[in-house]
């Protein structure tokens, strides 16, 4: 790390980024020849040429916006998690505690991680359709600011009472699937609720594959039964859940509402997803 750009989202989580600024300044002053602070709104207008390290101080939205912009470049992403979920940070072993997060970065362990290409849009965490999309897109920001990640947990219970199965047709490089499902998750990082549960089988963020999780539970009882199985690591294909790994996926797009890395998205026509191996350098534990 020689020259660092620090990108802040001052509104992420409970505005912790403002509190962290002084300590990050002190950390960089001792290690860098040059560093600069910008807000997330200024980031895309900033010339990155002379910076080898880009800090993202915020939640997953901030991290993903920075990651998409620097992917494929000879720059390293340093994450300081201050958001509601902080899923990518959790997957990389970066704690929410600022001192411990800076210790991870200071050890200089850099890895390269995969990304998903979804209709020519990069994705580092996951794309969710159905139930997963409802939780991410319909949980009010005011509740997230007030209750943090617990707001998603409450929303998950509420939307589990409103499950709405739809028919999906998917083709991977090895399988053709037509199924009725209440939720489909295509994940590069399959961890949820920090690292509490995962909807992937032995999921890695740099293994050259993505995970596909299909939930076919039709009512709250079968849903919560499968949720408990996931919590206890019982991930077996049955009439209610289906797990598989793939490098390519083509999906008939009858249901356009989804989220990509937590951002509400509408996709036109069919959905085409490919894995892009080791496209982004990041600090990890």
Q: Angle 220-231/150-160 helices, nearest 10 degrees?
A: 140
Written as tens digits, the pLDDT of the chain (285 aa) is 999 999 998 776 556 667 888 999 999 999 999 999 999 999 999 999 999 999 999 989 899 999 999 999 999 999 999 988 899 999 999 999 999 999 999 999 999 999 999 999 999 999 999 999 998 888 887 777 777 777 888 888 899 999 989 999 999 999 999 999 999 999 999 998 778 889 998 889 999 999 999 999 999 999 999 999 998 989 999 999 999 999 999 998 776 678 999 888 888 778 999 999 999 999 999
Tell me how far apart the alpha carbons of residues 91 and 176 are, in angstroms, rounded to a whole number: 30
Domains in the chain and their CATH numbers?
Answer: 3-108 (3.40.50.10330), 121-276 (2.60.200.40)
Kind of pairing between the strands at 110-118 and 271-283? antiparallel
Whole-angstrom CA distances from 259 to 12, 144, 227, 246, 273 are: 18, 17, 21, 20, 14
Residue owning tokens 């409450």: 154
Encode burial over 12-42: b for 16+ CB neighbours within 10 A, e otherwise.
bbeebbeebeeebeebbeeebeebebeebee
pTM here is 0.91
């Amino acid at each position: 790390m020689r020259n660092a750009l620090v990108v802040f989202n001052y509104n992420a989580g409970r505005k912790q980024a403002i509190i962290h600024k002084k300590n990050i300044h002190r950390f960089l002053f001792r290690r860098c020849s040059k560093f600069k602070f910008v807000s997330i709104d200024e980031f895309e207008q900033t010339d990155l040429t002379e910076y080898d390290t880009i800090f993202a101080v915020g939640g997953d939205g901030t991290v993903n916006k920075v990651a998409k912009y620097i992917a494929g470049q000879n720059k390293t992403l340093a994450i300081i998690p201050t958001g509601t979920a902080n899923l990518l940070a959790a997957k990389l072993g970066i704690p929410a505690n600022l001192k411990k997060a800076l210790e991870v970065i200071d050890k200089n362990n850099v890895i390269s991680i995969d990304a998903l290409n979804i209709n020519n849009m990069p994705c580092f965490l996951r794309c969710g359709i159905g139930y997963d999309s409802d939780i991410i897109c319909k949980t009010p920001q005011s509740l997230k600011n007030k209750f943090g990640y617990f707001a998603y947990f409450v929303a998950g219970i509420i939307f589990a009472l409103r499950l709405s199965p739809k028919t999906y047709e998917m083709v991977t490089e090895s399988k053709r699937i037509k199924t009725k499902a209440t939720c489909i998750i295509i994940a590069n990082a399959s961890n949820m609720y920090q690292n509490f549960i995962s909807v992937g089988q032995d999921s890695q963020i740099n293994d050259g594959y993505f995970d596909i999780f299909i939930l076919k539970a039709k009512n709250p009882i079968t849903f919560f039964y499968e949720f408990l199985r996931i919590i206890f690591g019982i991930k077996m294909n049955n009439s209610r859940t289906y797990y598989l790994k793939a490098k390519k996926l083509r999906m008939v797009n009858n249901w356009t509402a989804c989220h990509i890395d937590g951002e509400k998205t509408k996709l036109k026509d069919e959905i085409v997803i490919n894995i892009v191996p080791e496209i982004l350098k990041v600090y990890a534990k």
